[in-house]
Amino acid sequence: MLLAEDIAWEISIIGLTLCIFSLTNIATQSRKRRTDILLCCWLIILVLPLIHAVLAHLELSFPLFIMYTNPAVNLIQGPLLYCYVLLLIREKERFQPFDLLHLLPFTLFYALFISASYTAPMLPNPEQMSMPITAMGEASYFMTISKPLMINFGLVHTFFFFSYSILTVVLLVKHQKRIGVFFSQNDNQINLKWIYLLPTSFAFLVLINIANENNAAFSTLISPLTLHLLSYLSFIILLCFFGVKQKPVFNFDKPVKQNPTSIPEKKTRQSAQLVKTDRNELKQNEPVCEDTPETSNTMINEALLSEIITKMQFHMENDKPYLEAEFSVYHLAKTLNIPRRTLSYVLNNGLSKNFFQYVNEHRVEEVKIRLKSQESKQSTLLDIAFESGFKSKSSFNSLFKQYCHVTPSQYRKMIQEKKTPAKNDLYEN
């Protein structure tokens, strides 16, 4: 056997080291969010099988620990995945009473395993199919009908995790469709695409496990124990690498500097009433992730729509808040003293754009202006992009080519050759 069972010791040590390092990193942070606490709980659950493997390698026996960390604990992983994503994109990053219902399958199976006379290990056990499942040493009708579920617990765990994976993917797809409404960036910290790796890796490992169990030649290459521990280690690596630095999507720890140039504003009765309608939203400046009915839109006539657009354009062109990479629709709404929903309505209906398109058009124009200036000759394209508010090279290149139909380097070369293309007014609909 090429990957023999004694490699389980090395896998366990690597996983334990990563978990200890990540838990220490989160514990020493000045501010701990609920998503961080959830991540810590997830890492602790993932490391339990590795602890079992270490104890088995050292030939140490802790019956109570084995009993209370039985296979039913694995059923928490599906709800943890779903609730973790839910908290990352939820409005107030809070648990709701309804979330506790996700723990019902775990509670049921945990009670079954605890009440069984046989101590079921978390690690693969060839003799598990013949384990004597009885309650308190005596047969019972309840334990008799639940015996198939406990014997085939691996299938139960796989079913629940795949179910929650599908729910999580649906949640992520809905979230990604709404990114353009709220944010001017679309990186991994916002789109959460790295989370797709979790159900994908799980599905891949399940397929390998099926091949391992049904192919004698394959099973000689890797033991069930090694494969089992590798699956936990893969999750630990992903969570330690991506999860530790992941913040809630609607996180505004570093507010954008807001020193707006004074705008001669026409104080109409309609605009005053509009601001008063959603005063609480502006005061708290809290994001709204869920679909909610638009407010105050029925009060926006053409004159007021034009007034808000003029005010918004004046602020964007004179104060240039888009130079801040973390600039969001909430920062703009707070600066202009306009409800977020109303601002989104104005962008969609007045300019036929979402916030992402509107801000990045200004950033592209800023790059074009800087490229034409004499001071930019010594600057790299990436430096100019970052100074203009872009956060990554890939997004800068793709957006610039989308709006200008040439790459940044081609545009710069055209300027140097005095063949600058006709100005493309990006603000026209």
Q: What's the pLDDT tens digit per position in 200-250? A: 988 888 787 777 666 666 656 677 778 888 889 999 999 999 999 898 988
Sequence-distant (6+) residues with CB within 8 A of 208 are 227
Domains and CATH numbers, the chain: 7-243 (1.20.1070), 269-286+296-416 (1.10.10.60)
Predicted pLDDT at 270:
46
All residue ranges of the chain with pLDDT < 50 are 1-5, 126-142, 255, 265-296, 298, 420, 423, 425-429
Predicted pLDDT at 82:
94
Q: What's the pLDDT tens digit per position in 4-46? A: 445 888 899 999 999 999 999 999 988 888 899 999 999 999 9
- Tell me the C-alpha distance between 48 and 229, whole Å: 10
- Tell me the C-alpha distance between 59 and 54, whole Å: 8
Rounded (to 5) percent helix, strand, coil in the chain: 70, 0, 30
Predicted pLDDT at 135:
41
Predicted pLDDT at 204:
85
Predicted pLDDT at 144:
56
Predicted pLDDT at 217:
61
Predicted pLDDT at 416:
81
- Tell me the C-alpha distance between 257 and 151, whole Å: 60
Predicted pLDDT at 223:
76
